[in-house]
Each structure stands twice: as structure tokens, then as C-alpha cells.
Amino acid sequence: MAVNISSIEVLRSFSPLRAGNSTQLLAAPPLSRIIIRGGRSVGRRCSGKLRPDLVKSGLSCRAMIGEAEEKIEEDDVNLLDDSAADSQVQERDYTGTAYVPVYVMLPLGTINMECELVDPDNLINQLRILKSINVDGVMVDCWWGIVEAHAPQQHNWSGYRKLFQIVRHLDLKLQVVMSFHECGGNVGDDVHIPLPRWAMEIGSTNPDIFFTDKEGRRNHECLTWGIDKQRVLKGRNALEVYFDYMRSFRVEFNEFFEDGFISEIEIGLGPCGELRYPSYPANHGWEYPGIGEFQCYDKYLMESLKEAAEVRGHSIWGRAPDNAGSYNSKPQDTRFFCDGGDYDGHYGRFFLKWYSSVLVDHADRVLAMANIAFEETPVAVKLSGIHWWYKTASHAAELTAGFYNPANRDGYAPIASILKKREATLNFTCVELRTMDQHEDFPEALADPEGLVWQVLNAAWDVGLPVASENALPCYDKEGYDKILETSKPISDPDGRHLSAFTYLRLTPQLMEEQNFTEFERFVKRLHGELVANLQCHQEQEEETITLD
């Protein structure tokens, strides 16, 4: 049957999309990115991999329809091609823009539980390929649960030494993460690395060393910030444990610091190495886009809360909210987070200020230790992108995570101020996410990752803080890379501000596939400000399919 192309509605104008407090103009997708089903056009997000049941790479429109045993008249095909060409959006040329270094995270299991380097030959080959496209370096987690696994202050760095020697031999730089958290149970985790055995043994008799929810469930991802100054870890407090670990690393790898091979140390400050409370743990039943729960019910944090309430003159406030719902609640289902809820009352403001100040104070204390341990080496802090419920008044998911950022308050300015004080770079996630995609996939979440990204970046840039970033989820497609580039080098910024570095998550077999790696190479060149040829030709390779009911 023939398709009446004239019945296809092609949006060539701009349509406004509400994003946070501003209106952004988004170009409608070109016709080549529209699927036609029975004459109805449906926008489709680029996933980086075409559906194998619909298309084979390189086939023309006629061949694709032929496989579906349908026929499109020649005039219709020509008209379709002309329309697609007319609606192509000019790709931005980043030639000559600022050079943004690119790092690639190594696999989580690069070092095993015996602190041995896993499959070094394969790793060397992959690193050589990364070097061939001028990737600047790699990032690796130095796991507390591996290095200090068996006994306090007995550090084994042997596998990391072998890894560092390989990376340095290939003339790549290194970002190192001081990973004081558990690995396993989160998105993308394919290995399990618990906290040190001796710390877990302490926790078996004193479970209050872990973050705790209102039901009394303990979270073993990391130690509660309530013991930062409590000597409950075999004579040491948590700050002393972190400092001894960082100092041991600095002494062990002194020559790598001296020659500048280690370019940055990222300090793990919470679950997933991020500065936040473990408010949305999957192993406690949380599912996206649940608001999460407050994590302050261990005895040490509860004592801190009671003390703060007494100082405030309202001892009755020395408790956590009892009307804040559960992990998978929606804001409007709770009396605390709903519009006009208790979060914005006298008690709510007191509690949230205390809860967030514990987070900020923890960052301040640990970074002070890091500045001593690493001297002149740059340090960084990773901040998670809690973008769901951002379009509500309370920003409930941010509040339970420790970011006191409701619609009437900037919760990221105090964090930026502390990082500035400690001369730390802010590393922010979720820069590849688009608000429009979130509206399509999870409209009930009222998410706004773009609005959140710009709030956090501007809070940091306003105090002169360097900002780096990484993607929150695996990314192999041009659409995701384009979004990262837009954020890395904002075209409308009058001061020419840009990211100080970008770290790609993560080195996988999928990244090394030919099509994915070619796209990644183009991305690296553009972040570096280099010339990328055939921009329009590359767009034409992103064909979408036309299917008929």
C-alpha cells in the first residue's frame, strides 16, 4: 500500500517546554527521527542502538519497507527525504572551544578482594585504545573494603601499585577515588565489595555505627556521620580512620604524586562515594521515583538532634518527622512534604536545617583531613543529582537525601561554600539527562534534571568553584553526548564558563563496540575543542524506521 506522506504532520517550529523556573525553546525532531505508525507520527528518543526487529544499519527507506513486505511509492520516498533534509538541525561546532579533559572510569572489579589486578592483558589493550583517541586518563576506586579488609591500619596496596604502573607507562593521568563505601546493590554495580571485615564485626555488636531508618533497618553502605568524632572503631573515630587511610595512600604512592601522574583525588563522603544520605536504598524496597526516607535514627545522630533542639529552646523538636511517608511515597501523600506541609513550618525548618547541616559538617571535616593528607594535590567531591520531584514545592527526594533545597531556598549554596573553603572541585552527575525525556518516561516523577544541573552549576560557579561532571547512566548515543556537551560548554554563558573535566561512566565491552566507540571518539574530540569532520554526514547515519500497522 502507498503512504500518503502529505498526511504526516511535521513540526518545524519551536515549541516551549517548561523547565524549572525558565522556559526553554526546544527544536522539534527532524522527520528522520519520527516513526510513522498507521499515519500517526510518534517522536522516538535516540537510544544509540536501533531496534534489530525494525531496521538493519545502512538500509534505505525502500529496503526497510521491503523487509516489512510493504511498498512506498517513489514520489513519497523523495518527498520524505526532502522533508528530512529541510528539518535537520545544525549540529554545533565545538572547534576552538575550551579544552575539557576526559577521563574514563575503570570497571568496578579491576582489583579483586585479594587486592590483585584482574586480567591485566585485556586492560592494557583497552587502555591503549583509549589512549589512541587522546583520552586524558582514567578513574579508579580504591576500595576501603579491599585495602584495609582484615585489620585496622593494615593496608594492602599491591594490586593498585601494579595498576598505576601500567597506567603511567601508557602516559595516562589518574583520578583516584577514596571509596569508603560498599559496592553492590546500586545501578551499574556488577561486583560486591563490602566494608572492611573488622568494621562489620564492630557493627554486629554496635549496629548504630550505620545509618538507620525509622523502622530500625541498618544501611551497611557506609558509616553514619554520627561517629565522625566517636571513638567506637577500635579506639579510633571515623575521621581518624579516613585520615589514616588517605595518609597511607599518599605515602605508598609518593612518586606518583611527585611526577603529577595522579591528577586528582576524589573523596568518598557517603553511599556510592557521593555526598548524600543513603535515603533511597534499593535493598530496603525503594523504587524510582519514591521520595525516600530520612536516615538519622542511629543513636549518635538522634543524640545530636536532641542536643540541637535543646539549644534551640524547643526540646520537643528533638525527634524526626513522623508524617514523612515511606520510601515509595509521593510528596502529596504525606503531611510533611505536601504543598503547605510541615516541611515549611517552624519545626520542619528546624529539622531540615539540622539534617542538612550534618551533611555539610561531615564534608567540611573530612575535606580538612584530605587537605592535610594530600597537600597540593587537587581534591574533589561527588554530588548526586536528585532530580525527581524537583518540580514540586518541597523537593522531597532532595530533602531526605540531605539537600535542603525546597522551591523557596537554595540548598546547594552552603555546600558550594564549604567546597570553596576546602579548595575542592564539585563533581556533579546526571548532566546527560533531558527534562523532556523524563516527562515522557516518568511523567509522575515531576523531574527536572536540566533545572537541577543549572542550579547546582551556578551555585558553584557563583563562588568561583571548579565544576567537573560525569554521566549518571551508561551513555552510547549522540543525543546523550550532545546534552553533555551543551552543559560542559554552555553557548549562552557570557563569562565563557565551562566544566573543568568530564569523567565517563564507564569502560565496558559495550563502549568498545565499533559504532559506540566511534561515537565516543567524536565526543572526546568535541570536548577537547578539536575539529570533527563531516558533522552533517554523521547526522544522516542516524536513520529511524518507518513502520506500517
Query: Cα(416)–Cα(462) distance, rounded to whole angstroms?
Result: 9
The answer to whether 526 touches 485, Cβ cutoff 8 Å, is: yes
Contact 57, 542 (CB under 8 A): no
Q: Give the alpha-carbon dihedral of 381, 225, 152, 144, to 10 degrees.
A: -30
Nearest to 198 by CA among 157, 155, 160: 155
Annotated binding site for substrate: 141, 181, 189, 382, 387, 429, 471-472, 506
Contacts for 21 with CB less than 8 Å, ≥ 6 apart: 451
Angle 366-499-15 (CA atoms, 0-180°, nearest 5)? 125
Q: Are 223 and 199 in contact (CB under 8 A)?
A: yes
Task: Tell me if residue 399 falls in helix, strand or coil.
Answer: helix
Output DSSP code: residue 501. E
- Amino acid symbol at 150: H
Find, among 409, 293, 413, the residue nearest to 349 by Cα. Answer: 409
Known binding residues are 141, 181, 189, 382, 387, 429, 471-472, 506
Q: How many CB atoms lie within 10 A of CB 350?
A: 17
List active site positions. 274, 470
* Residue 267 · residue 171 · CB < 8 Å: no
How far is Cα 107 from Cα 105, in angstroms, rounded to an integer? 7
Measured between alpha carbons, how far is residue 449 from residues 22, 370, 476 in Å? Answer: 13, 30, 19
Tally Cβ neighbours within 10 Å of residue 125. 12
- 492: number of Cβ within 10 Å: 5
Q: How far apart are CA 406 and CA 351, in angstroms?
A: 14
The secondary structure element, H or E, covering residue 26 is strand 22-27
As given in the structure block, the three cell numbers for residue 480 are 546523550
